[in-house]
A and B are shown apart, each in its own frame.
Chain A
Amino acid sequence: MSEPLDFEGWSCPLPLRDHPTVVMGHGGGGRLSSDLIRHLFAPAFGSVPTTDSAVLDPAAFGLTGGRLALTTDSYVVRPRFFPGGNVGDLAVNGTVNDLATSGAIPLALSAAFVLEEGMPLDELAAVAATMRAAADVAEVSIVTGDTKVVDAGHGDGFYVTTAGIGVVPAGVDLGPHKVTDGCSIIVSGDIGRHGIAVMSVREGLTFGADIESDTAAVTPLAQALLAAGIDVRMYRDPTRGGLAATVTEIASAANIGVQLDDRAIPVSDPVRAACGFLGLDPLYVANEGRLVAFVATSDVDQALEIWRSLDLGAGATVVGHTVPEHPGVVTARTPIGGTRVVDLPLTEPLPRIC
């Protein structure tokens, strides 16, 4: 977490120094609101946005032509702080990744906060600082935002909704309509870290593990293959529902069959161990810093070489390929040579005793 807030210069009439928490006034648009922006959000985000809108010029980013990509997401993860990061990382990286997977160059984000009265300001400052740090790595700015406060007991402390805007360069066209037979499916690294990291600190399930969330912006991975002229058909980041959800959704949308190989799915030993004692299948566990790509099989070797040369893609590997059989259905070859059908998960993976 970051340093404790310095309240010098805050004009709040209430003794905030003694009770440094969010109060209703912080969402009211008056002096308290501007205090929060000026002394907490602006220093964290590196600018002084005075309105909840911003005007951007793509040319200023060196981009002409192409299409706009817009995405939004809300982040309500509990617990807010987990090994390897906090909700701020997820908010920035998650939205950046949604842009990156469409082939877009992310430009800017907005961040709207709904805070519960009583939330500690230190915690808010820590999350804001994290968002700034993640935005810097992802080479985007948080250019505008909004804050509302709800009564104590009516929120879960903190919700943030981010929206992101990016530009998909001319000539880049990715999506299920491009996924056909003859594609290989690659993943940029081992799976399951984020979901297990969050679970490891969730009340009632705490366990000690050498597992940190993999939260990261995957833009460099997405751009590297496109820049090298690799025949990429589609990207997706395997977040909720894990690699299984990603592959089954794409197979369904593209009406193509997929065959995975359980032996090829990369899982680190600690994640495998955690999934073992909780009774989870790593294929269904969330990731926040991984990219899945459907590429033409003729280009897969080169694609892997490119990814493995990047830090983010050091563990990249092939996990399966598309097939004309059983369109819309994903199967996996099991380690002992059998076949199983991988289905879309209905809910988040839950620990089991049975």
Chain B
Amino acid sequence: MKYLDEFNDPELAAALLDDIRKTATKPWALMEVCGGQTHTIVRNGIDQLLPEQVEMIHGPGCPVCVTPLEMIDRALAIAAMPDVIFCTFGDMVRVPGSNVDLLRIKAGGGDVRIVYSPLDAVKAAIDNPDKQVVFFGIGFETTAPANAMTVLQADRLGVPNFSLLVSHVRVPPAIEAIMSSPLSRVQGFLAAGHVCTVMGMGEYVPLVEKYSVPIVVTGFEPLDVLEGIRRVVAQLERGVAQLDNAYPRAVSFEGNAVAQKVLADVFEVTDRMWRGIGMIPQSGWRLQDKWAKFDAEKRFDVSAITATESPDCHSGEVLQGLLKPNQCPAFGTLCSPAHPLGAPMVSSEGACAAYYQFRRLDAPSPVGA
């Protein structure tokens, strides 16, 4: 397939690995922000193919992983209500709330439907006028425009029985939170390509300047990820810190102006709790008050729901790159894909699930190695 196959070329991959191997003379710790990039790395065995000096710390770029526990519990409460059709992306159905997950709500008789596009949820609302149809609007900036469109469409077409449960998160504040932590070991970032397709690159300029950290906008195919790593390592070796675009076929500096305008019209920035990390100021989006009539949190009485995390779950430290999943005491014992304590073990992009799936052969690496 065009624009995919070429970026999977094994010979070019080998050449990039050679180049990285020759360029890296000192140890460096890089973070890829996006769960999709983590998937590519683990699926292709890239982190074992990288030279020892280059360490990839898997970042919190998995909206599934970072959706606050109370938001999941609220979603579960709504999904369990009679006469509600709860629509969601497939990623969310096995994410554990405080007690159950959406799959179990479905098994108990809840009408939980997996959709590919948020617009399918609006369609379900049109087709089922006697039910309340709720869409679980999670995701980073990449998904926000699609979720925003549901509200505009429901408004334009007059679909009063539709509402959106919003739990959006933004990447730049997350990078800020990671870099401002004194424990952070991250020295360079692969920024999430498709987030930048929407938002452009401007938000990363102040981060590069403030923290003197290279940030390279990176795509998702094996060659894209290797090239992103190569450029970050090259900058680190040269002692520079710049914002660079290694994914120009899909990313421009300005981003998608049409999408940004819609986002500005539908959402507003808000503080957000990130599961396992805590409150990151200004790191989320919520529906503006003028769209309150489509806000599921207001339509359903769920705001009283709060949640307590499992004390055995270390997803926060994993998500901040402070702990490798297989260094977590619960990894593979208390916590596994069959009985996940936290979302990083459930989501296929979660660092813990990725490790579990692909690392049963490895012994845990010493911290900091």
List residues of chain A with CB under 8 Å of any chain B CB: 203-205, 207, 269, 272-273, 276, 278-279, 281, 326, 329, 331, 334-341, 343, 346-347, 350-354
Contacts A326-B361, A350-B90, A354-B63; is A338 near B49 (CB within 8 Å)? yes
Contacts A334-B45, A337-B13; is A353 near B114 (CB within 8 Å)? no
A205 touches B114 (CB 8 A): yes
A349 → B minimal CB distance (Å): 9
Contacts A205-B115, A336-B46, A337-B14; is A350 near B1 (CB within 8 Å)? no
State in angstroms the CA–CA spacing of A207 and B115 once bound together. Answer: 12
Closest to B347 in A: A354
A-B contact count (CB 8 A): 102
Q: Does B170 contact A (CB under 8 A)?
A: no
Closest to B39 in A: A354
Q: How many residues of B contact A (CB 8 A)?
A: 47
Q: Which of A278, A329, A338, A343 has the most CB of B within 10 A?
A: A338
Partner pick for A341 among B1, B120, B338, B361, CB 8 A cutoff: B361
State in angstroms the CA–CA spacing of A149 and B90 once bound together. Answer: 33
B residues in contact with A207, CB < 8 Å: 116
Q: Does B310 contact A (CB under 8 A)?
A: no
A336 touches B360 (CB 8 A): no
B49 touches A337 (CB 8 A): yes
List residues of chain B with CB under 8 Å of any chain A CB: 1, 4, 8, 10, 13-14, 17, 35-36, 39, 42-46, 48-49, 62-64, 87, 89-91, 93-94, 103, 113-116, 120, 124, 139, 143, 222, 337-338, 347-349, 356-361
Closest to B94 in A: A347
B4 touches A351 (CB 8 A): no
B48 touches A350 (CB 8 A): no
B residues in contact with A352, CB < 8 Å: 89-91, 348-349
A204 touches B62 (CB 8 A): no
A353 touches B45 (CB 8 A): no
A residues in contact with B348, CB < 8 Å: 279, 352, 354
B residues in contact with A339, CB < 8 Å: 45, 48
State in angstroms the CA–CA spacing of A327 and B62 once bound together. Answer: 33
State in angstroms the CA–CA spacing of A296 and B49 once bound together. Answer: 32
A residues in contact with B139, CB < 8 Å: 353
Contacts A203-B113, A346-B338; is A354 near B46 (CB within 8 Å)? no
What are 27 sample pairs from A and B whose C-beta atoms fall under 8 A apart? A203-B113, A204-B114, A205-B114, A269-B1, A272-B1, A281-B43, A329-B361, A335-B222, A337-B10, A337-B49, A338-B45, A340-B44, A341-B358, A341-B359, A346-B94, A346-B338, A350-B93, A351-B89, A351-B114, A352-B91, A353-B89, A353-B90, A353-B91, A354-B36, A354-B39, A354-B62, A354-B349
Contacts A272-B1, A337-B14; is A351 near B116 (CB within 8 Å)? yes
Closest to A269 in B: B1
A350 touches B360 (CB 8 A): no
A329 touches B36 (CB 8 A): no
B42 touches A350 (CB 8 A): no
B85 → A minimal CB distance (Å): 11
Partner pick for B360 among A205, A273, A341, A346, CB 8 A cutoff: A341
A336 touches B10 (CB 8 A): yes
State in angstroms the CA–CA spacing of A352 and B353 once bound together. Answer: 14
Contacts A337-B13, A352-B348, A353-B89; is A343 near B356 (CB within 8 Å)? yes
B95 → A minimal CB distance (Å): 11
A residues in contact with B113, CB < 8 Å: 203-204
Closest to B43 in A: A340
Contacts A337-B49, A340-B42; is A354 near B35 (CB within 8 Å)? yes
B14 touches A336 (CB 8 A): yes
B residues in contact with A273, CB < 8 Å: 1
A336 touches B1 (CB 8 A): no
B residues in contact with A346, CB < 8 Å: 94, 337-338
Cβ-closest 6 pairs across A and B:
A338-B45, A350-B90, A336-B13, A204-B115, A351-B90, A354-B349
A205 touches B13 (CB 8 A): no
